[in-house]
Amino acid sequence: MLTQEYTKEKVSKHKTVGCRSYSSYLDNDRYNDFIEIKPVKSSFYNKEIAFYSFPKLVSYIYQNETIANVPKVLEYLITTVKKSESILFLENDFDDNGSEKYDFKTWKAAVVFLFDYADILYSNYNTLIDIPKIYNAPKGSIDLFWENEKYTLLINIDKKGKSATFYTGNSKGTQQIRGEFKLDNHMVQLLPFPTNMI
């Protein structure tokens, strides 16, 4: 790793290669908090001619298991994920309506999807997603829920942690979209973007 600090101006003097920079919205004071940079040295010129940059990661750990390594710029999502851990402590019939307890693999699938969803939207579209609520849902499933003055988005992860359904609409109720997808085989680009850019 480089020992000196690099601002965007310093890095921009060189060609950046092999890079998902995660840097479009970062000012110089925050740049080094989120980005790690390695030089690429030319054997011919015997000097640095390019940089490789990648996101600093923070690990989200639950009961000694690393659930996800999250780019630091998306660390703000961890608080809502931590709150959702309480779902795993609900017992059978916790609501006196025969509801079943929630499986760890279902909750983990929902959390990993959320982090991956946010990562892809940020790295490809420079979009920071809004913070969702994470709720226990019927039949052992998990809901990711966004709601504000502009839009509503609900993504439901099924009990098996394999499939999901979604519903989204604008605040005026004049437009709604529903769909479904497989967690292990889908294109994030075809899903709604949960941001106020909508």
Q: Are both 66 and 48 inside the same structural domain?
A: no
Whether residue 41 has pLDDT greater than 90: no
DSSP-derived letter for residue 151 is: E
Q: Are both 82 and 172 inside the same structural domain?
A: yes
Model pLDDT for residues 76-123, shown as the tens digit of each residue: 999 999 999 999 999 998 888 888 899 999 999 999 999 999 999 988
Model pLDDT for residues 114-168, shown as the tens digit of each residue: 999 999 998 888 889 999 999 999 999 999 999 998 899 999 999 999 999 999 9
Q: Are both 87 and 165 inside the same structural domain?
A: yes
Enumerate the H helices of the chain as residue ranges.
8-12, 28-34, 78-84, 104-125
Q: Are both 112 and 156 inside the same structural domain?
A: yes
**Rounded to an integer, what distance in angstroms lies between the CA atom of residue 195 and that of residue 146?**
9
Number of compact structural domains in the chain: 2
Q: Are both 82 and 176 inside the same structural domain?
A: yes
At 95, list the tokens.
Answer: 């609501």
The reported pTM is 0.77
Nearest Cα neighbor of 108 from 147, 70, 61 is 61
In a domain, 3, yes or no: no
Q: Are both 130 and 158 inside the same structural domain?
A: yes
Q: Are both 63 and 46 inside the same structural domain?
A: no
**Rounded to an integer, what distance in angstroms lies between the CA atom of residue 150 and that of residue 197?**
9
In a domain, 196, yes or no: no
In a domain, 197, yes or no: no
Range of the domain at 118: 57-190
Q: Are both 16 and 63 inside the same structural domain?
A: no
